[in-house]
Amino acid sequence: MTVPAPTGSWRAGGSDDESGAATVVAVAILGAVVALAIGVTGVLGASVASQSAANAADASALAAADALSGAVAGEPCALAGDLARRNGATLVGCRVEGAVAVVSVAVAHGPLRATGSARAGPPGWDR
């Protein structure tokens, strides 16, 4: 009696069928790309908030310095606060050092805050 030869290769523990392996790799790559995109979006959003805070601080300091110089009527820190609000920021600090205005603002970005500060006054002013 003869035993017929096997028609395929045989491995201990399973078959040679690898169908679906490419799907698993594709899903893993897609997941990595989505995670990277979410991370980059968060970093870019924080960068935009930081730049907004810097711009609002600059505008607020200039408004306060204009009030100090008499170019515009009003109280320097009140004008700085108004300009900060118009630029989507909150005035955190404002002080006058002679003819120079120093302001600090904050811009909310989700649960975090981006801050910016600026100093404005006449050229060459050294307190």
For residue range 34-68, what is the model confidence (pLDDT) as tens digits?
999 988 888 888 888 999 999 999 999 999 999 99
> What is the C-alpha separation between 34 and 48, in angstroms, rounded?
21
Residue 125 is assigned to a structural domain of this protein: no
Q: What is the pLDDT, as a whole number, of residue 127?
A: 58
Number of domains in the chain: 1
Q: Is the pLDDT of residue 1 over 80?
A: no
Would you say residue 84 lies in a domain? yes
Domain with 92, as residue range(s), is 32-120
Could you tell me which residue, 7 or 65, shows the higher pLDDT?
65
- The reported pLDDT for the residue numbered 44 is 84
63-83 mean pLDDT: 93
Q: What is the pLDDT of residue 10?
A: 54
Distance CA 91, CA 71 (A): 22
pLDDT tens for residues 114-127?
999 999 998 877 65
Q: What is the pTM of this model?
A: 0.69
Kindly state whether residue 18 falls inside one of the protein's structural domains: no
Q: Which residues contact 85 (CB under 8 A, 6 or more apart)?
A: 91
Q: Which pLDDT score, from 0 to 100, does residue 112 have?
A: 84
Instruction: Determine, yes or no, domain membership for 13.
Output: no
**pLDDT category of residue 26 using cuts at 50, 70 and 90:** very high
